Structure 1
């Protein structure tokens, strides 16, 4: 709308709009966890329904993010970004009004679709608004820092809103953010050049959604109904068939949504795998601990948000420390140190039981958050640096998709551990042990595999 897109005010307000878009996406990754008990009490259902409420969002986010970026390239990132913000805002209202768990799950899927559209196109608009490399670097830093703050504030903000107004308010808070972001984008962001020759890989997209949905569904329902249940087995079989179909489609597509050639780069493949492992561990653990604090130790949503504050609060300072540490010791070493620190924190929580005092858990939770904060910046920069600059956009999309896929699998898998009747504490310990194994596996992988570059 504004022809002076290069003016300082227009650029700053474009950055504000993009930060609101990415921030609200990250806010909804964590804010819902504090509402799990309240939602379950209000709408009914067990652990599997709560898993679907969390996972449906990340399934849509993970599966659609690559296609959303390609769509922005094709018809213009501004149009697509605004459509994504409108979808996300409308879906948030639908979540707040949902009368049943099934309708809430459906609205969460629409939210995830909006989130997938927002993230890659916000970066594309920032890239267009800030042609100078140094200015762009600062803008992306602000964009990322805002998202880290939203991720940190999510549990506390959710707990406070639930205590004051009720669980539906955690979705209503997205409405003013969405309206502000839409107006700022419409008024100040300038449209990106279109690439109509950029085709969409709809066959790969359909296979990706189906494969990820079937795998998450089979794991979630397996924890509730047993791993030999015919529907669970059918889910795993469908996942296998769809995964094979996805790989076949990506190999033959002229413009695949996931170029398999990227994985020929050793460090790209390694860092993608580590992103998956780390998110399985971290977001699966957040889900389980949210249920533990509320259902086992009887904490209120507000107290649960406060319980997560030291853990989430450790992420941002560790992010800031990571850059200097990486310059001095190298990315593989810092990634390994961060993963090991988080793994030690998980192992130190293995004695957790009913009534375990929060004071005896706090240091371990801080170690987990700090470990994650330490490893993510060098992981991201290593992945982006492992491919040609012209492919950095698709590489960033793959990293986001991989990490969101890890979030889906973590909630599904760890939720299955605690879903067994009367076995919540045992399942919590299983989750902690699995976290430690995955994180130590990530540390070993980067130290062994990261020694030699392509």
Structure 2
């Protein structure tokens, strides 16, 4: 996603008959919020339906892992490409295409005759989803040229993600209990259709002044790397680490990583600009994003199976029980936002990592009869940690980078979040799926791993926000600016 966003003045598309320009801008924000709401709710609503999907489609635990992981995996692979396509071909056009594919994928998921088809259709859904979040952000930036209004608009847009993710488990539990698991996919269809119709009428078309060129080598390598890592993590424990297919996947992942390190620095406009990773705040923020979402993804996956399969909770009750986690996220996100505004990123990240670790470690001694009060406390603490970490991550990622590189850096951070979610589900699920000691005993190790993710967030938050890290980031930012200026001399206007 290029950062070279072309501001939209109150002329052209925005000057068409209809609401006044200021009102029209906020209508565009509402439309963007609808899109991110659909993708946000999809991240959590499906988890509640997993036991029902398993029973109805006779799905194995590894199949459930793929059902959840494939969404984040596809999103991680395509986010940067989708943002680049929007900059080149038009943000409104790609946004509407994303809404169409997302709604169609959701409908197909609800009609899936088997778990293999369901995994495939979730992948289709994710292709559309990859065109929504980064493109919606670009649309908001282009429609709100004033920095203050833009900040408020992005704040509203970002809060919708948290609200819809929090509402997902409760709404999913209600739908699964009253109808069936297929109904959790229905909700995205009318939202997608409504957003498409409104976007056609009110969203102005915009393009980047100079869109990034397509990097087919980088795109292919990142897909091979991400898919092979996730496939190895999910299938390795089941097939055995000496299985020829698993060995081939490990070799493929290594080859893809080496390919990225060798090929991308030689591309004029690489999909992944490795020079960004010379900035400690950027590298730290990406690792923090990966660890935080890995912990959150594993937490939600394990907790759903525990509440419904072990405790015998109905889908609705299971959804209601995680409300403390959602409430903790909302409260902590607000407090963290104030810390970020006061330039206290380190405190927000360190506190968030500590709370994530504490929430997970509270569940290490989990039994089939653990007191409900203990569960709710653990959920609330973990939610506080997740909410505390989210706001400062994006701010830390772009610290010291040139303004014209912020969009690409943000897209890379978003990819890290999605990949983290996929790897968290894969790792946590693999730990409990291939143990002979039963779910409860094997889950203890999984909770330790999730707690370890929180400790990693704590350590990385401290390391990546110190004065040394800021100084290195500033020097790297100046080098990036100088290199960009040098290249622009040979580029046609």
Give the number of aligned pairs: 454
Partner residue, 2:169:
155
Q: CA RMSD in A?
A: 1.6
CA contact (8 A) 2:98 2:131 kept: yes
Please state if 1:98 is matched with 2:112. yes
Contact 2:285 2:464 in 1 (8 A): no
Change (3 A) 1:241 1:335: same
- In structure 2, the partner of 1:307 is 321
1:386 is displaced (CA, Å) by 3.2
CA contact (8 A) 1:332 1:446 kept: yes
How far has the Cα of 1:446 moved from its partner?
Answer: 2.2
Q: 1:332 aligns with which of 338, 346, 354?
A: 346
CA deviations over 1:307-326 (Å, ceiling 9, x no partner): 11111221111111112234
CA displacement at 1:424 relative to structure 2: 1.3
Deviation at 1:150, TM superposition (A): 0.4
Please name the residue that 2:235 is paired with.
221
Which residue in the other structure is 1:438 paired with?
453
* 51 and 369 in structure 1: CA distance in 2 versus 1, 3 angstrom threshold: same
Q: What is the CA distance between 1:403 and its match in structure 2?
A: 0.8
Aligned to 1:80: 94
Q: Measure the CA separation in 2 of the matches of 1:72 and 1:114.
A: 13
- Shift, 1:228, TM fit: 2.6
Q: Is the 8 A contact 2:222 2:256 kept in 1?
A: yes
* CA displacement at 1:8 relative to structure 2: 2.1
Query: 2:439, 2:240 → 1: CA distance?
Result: 16
Q: How far does the alpha carbon of each residue in 1:26-67 deviate from its partner, in whole angstroms, 9 at most, with x for none? A: 111111000000001111121100000001111100010011
When structure 1 is superposed on structure 2, of 3-12 and 271-280 the one drifting more is 3-12
**Please, which of 135, 138, 149 is the counterpart of residue 149 of structure 2?**
135
Q: 1:364 aligns with which of 363, 366, 378?
A: 378
1:246 pairs, out of 249, 260, 267, with 260
Answering whether residue 461 of structure 2 is matched by residue 450 of structure 1, we say no
Report the equivalent of 2:484: none
For the structure 1 residues 379 and 196, does the alpha-carbon distance in structure 2 shift closer, same or farther, using more than 3 Å as the test? closer
**Could you tell me whether the CA contact under 8 Å between 1:219 and 1:232 is conserved in 2?**
no
Which has the higher Rg, Structure 1 or Structure 2? Answer: 2
1:296 aligns with 2:307: no
* More displaced 10-residue stretch of structure 1: 433-442 or 157-166: 433-442
Task: Answer whether contact 2:53 2:59 (CA < 8 A) is retained.
Answer: no
Q: Secondary structure at the match of 1:446?
A: helix
Structure 2 portions without partners, runs of 5+: 1-11, 472-493
Tell me the distance in 1 between the aligned counterparts of 2:333 and 2:99.
Answer: 27
Are the structure 2 counterparts of residues 194 and 269 from structure 1 closer, same or farther at C-alpha, using a change threshold of 3 Å? closer
Q: Distance in 2 between matches of 1:72 and 1:340?
A: 38
Q: Post-superposition shift, 1:154?
A: 0.6
Retained in 2: the 8 A contact 1:4–1:10?
no
Aligned to 2:29: 15
What does 1:254-273 correspond to in 2, within 5 Å?
254-273=268-287
Distance 1:34 1:194, change over 3 A: same
Does 1:4 pair with 2:15?
A: yes
8 Å Cα contact 1:270-1:449 kept in structure 2: yes
Q: Which residue of 2 aligns with 1:117?
A: 131
C-alpha separation between the residues in 2 aligned to 1:150 and 1:303? 18
2:359 & 2:220 partners in 1: Cα distance? 39
Give the distance between the partners of 1:433 and 1:353, measured in 2 at CA.
Answer: 15
Kept in 2, the 8 Å contact 1:250–1:258? The answer is yes
Task: Render the CA deviation track for 1:100-128: whole Å, top value 9, x for unaligned.
Answer: 10111000111111111111100111111
Q: Aligned with 2:214: secondary structure?
A: coil
Residue 423 of structure 1 is matched in structure 2 by 438
Contact conserved, 2:49 with 2:315, CA < 8 A, in 1? yes
Paired with 1:200 and 1:355, the residues of 2 have a C-alpha distance of 54
Distance 2:64 2:156 in 1: 33
Provide the rounded CA distance (Å) in 1 between the counterparts of 2:334 and 2:208: 36
Q: Contact 1:75/1:196 (CA < 8 Å) preserved in 2?
A: no
Q: Which region of structure 1 is more displaced relative to structure 2, 186-195 or 281-290?
A: 186-195
2:365 matched residue in structure 1: 351
**TM-score normalised by the chain length of structure 1:** 0.97
How far is the alpha carbon of 1:328 from its aligned partner?
5.2
* Alignment-derived partner of residue 206 in structure 1: 220
Choose 419-428 or 103-112, whichever is displaced more.
419-428
